[in-house]
Amino acid sequence: MSDRTGIFAGDNPFDLARAWLAEAQESEPNDPNAIALSTVDIHGLPNARMVLLKEIEDASFVFYTNYGSAKAQELDGAQKAAFVMHWKSLRRQIRVRGHVSKESGPQADEYFASRSLKSRIGAWASKQSQPLNSRAELLAESAKLSLKLGPAPKRPEFWGGYRITPVEIEFWADGAFRLHDRFRWTRPDPEAEWSVQRLNP
C-alpha cells in the first residue's frame, strides 16, 4: 500500500469517492453523478441502466427511483447490486458492489421536496417500466395530477431511495501504455474493516 499516494491516498473510501466526484463536477459537462447501475432479475439475467447518484454517505451510496420499476423489483429481489461511475474528462472510474436497502423515511421526503415541481409531478405521473400508449397520454396524466396535487405534492409511497452499502469499492485511473492504476477496497461484510490491494490493470 506504500505506493497508494496522490489521487488514491487516504484511509476512507467514501472520502475518496467524494473527492473524485467533486473533481468531476468541475470537469464533466453533464451529470457527473451518473452511475451505471447493475441488477439481476429472478432468473439471474443481468440488467443495467443509468441513474443519478444523489448522496455519498459515511458508509453507503444513495439514489432514488420508482419502487414499481423493474430496477426496484430486481433490487428488492436480490438485495444486492453493483454500479460503475465513469468520468471521461478525468479518465477515472469507481466500481461498487454491495448490499441494498430502502430509504423511504424522512431523508427520502426531504430529497423529494428539494426537486423541481415538474419533477415531483412527473414522479407521480409515471408508472415506471410499464407499457405506455403514447407520450401524449403521459403528458395528460401529468397535467391532471398537477391540478390535483397543487404546488407542494408530497412524496408518493411508491417512490423513494435505495442505499447501497458496499463490500467492495475499486478506484481506477488511466495510465500510460494502458498500465492503469487500480486499487480495490474489500471487506467481508459492512461491519468489517477495509483491506486495500493494488490490482494488475
Q: Provide the annotated active-site residues.
A: 178
The whole-angstrom separation of Cα 120 and Cα 105 is 17
Phi/psi at 102 (nearest 5 deg)?
-80, 150
* Grid cell in block for residue 28: 464533466
Per DSSP, which regions of the chain are E strands? 34-40, 46-56, 61-66, 80-87, 92-103, 159-173, 181-186, 195-199
What letter would DSSP give residue 7? G
Residue 166: CB atoms within 10 Å: 25
Cα-to-chain-centroid distance, residue 5:
27
| Category of 79 on φ-ψ map: left (φ > 0), alpha (ψ -120 to 50) or beta | left
Half-sphere exposure of 96 (CA within 13 A, CB side): 27
